[in-house]
Structure 1
Amino acid sequence: MSKIDIGINESDRIAIADGLKHLLADSYTLYLQTHNFHWNVTGPQFRELHLMFEEHYTELATAVDDIAERIRTLDVAAPGTYKAFAELSSIAEVDGVPAAQDMVNILTQSHEAVVKTCRRVLKIAQDADDESTAALVGDRMGVHEKTAWMLRATQSS
């Protein structure tokens, strides 16, 4: 493969890719968490939550691919193991099967954690004039902010 020359210096590309690795790990961990809750949710809101969680993990499946491909576009290897994701992610694993309302609360907090990761990566990308990464991360941030809002809206007052 020829040497990369896209107008972003190597140290900035590496810094951006490192931030994106954290976003990828958060997104994949959230994907797994959401899929787990989709499989295991029970209770009066079963159908609503089961379908909503499916929408969320389906969207996340596309997102992780987009993020990993952006890392590769920056000429850096994307992480792809549970071990790597566990080391990079800010989202804690959940033991057992929480109650449906707890699932909603956990997912809300997880989406908010991804928003915070997006904000950190966005700053790095903007400082390096990397509009492609900034656009990707900005879009991801919007998705997670909206999803957290929708999850909060399902919670009882």
Structure 2
Amino acid sequence: MSNTNHIGLNEVSASELAQKLNELLANYQVFYMNVRGYHWNIKGRQFFQLHEKFEEFYTDLLAKVDEVAERILTLGHYPIHAYSNYIDVAKIQEDKDVQDGEACVRGILQGYQALIELQREILSLASNAGDEGTAAQVGDYIREQEKTVWMLTSYLD
């Protein structure tokens, strides 16, 4: 009996990666809803600029939610899909009733920082497991999001 999954990865490693990817999925889902809320509820002089930018962010986050879930399935495991599970698992907390532009931007900055930290853990696990698919996926996310963090930080300075 083989100890590898259908894509040739060690099953124990694939299971560990799927668990971490489910944690990532939970964080993406909570963060996505936070950014949706910022988009809906932003007020003030920067409304037009931030409203449009927040839509750009949440659209990208939603695409990544689907990609992460599909990677979990590719590893031979199942993505969690209940918001109650997301709240229990996610490091990113719900951010409710935020309307101030600067507070919204700070919330987005903190969300991306949390995602990058978790994705670096996953990148290390994937590299050690020889999982190029997961490593490439989260590596791309990290690269994109580091640039976003730089831009958000510059905006707040």
**Category of TM-score, reference length = shorter chain:** over 0.9
CA-based RMSD of the aligned residues comes to 1.3
- Counterpart of 2:60 in structure 1 is 59
* Residues in 1 aligned to 2:132 and 2:59: alpha-carbon distance in whole angstroms: 26
- Counterpart of 1:10 in structure 2 is 11
SS in 1 for 2:134: helix
Gaps (5+ residues) in structure 1? none
* Residues in 2 aligned to 1:128 and 1:82: alpha-carbon distance in whole angstroms: 29
TM-score by length of 2: 0.93
* Residues in 1 aligned to 2:48 and 2:153: alpha-carbon distance in whole angstroms: 17
After TM superposition, list the pairs within 5 Å mapping 1:87-102 onto structure 2: 87-102=88-103
Which 4+ runs in 1 deviate beyond 4 A? Answer: none
With 146-155 and 133-142 compared, the bigger mean Cα shift is at: 146-155
TM-score by length of 1: 0.93
Q: How far 1:97 moved relative to its partner?
A: 2.1
Q: Once the two structures are superposed, what CA deviation does each residue of 1:55-77 show, in whole Å capped at 9, x if it has no partner?
A: 00001111110000000001101
Q: Name the % identity.
A: 37
- Counterpart of 1:86 in structure 2 is 87
Q: How far 1:5 moved relative to its partner?
A: 2.4
Gaps (5+ residues) in structure 2? none
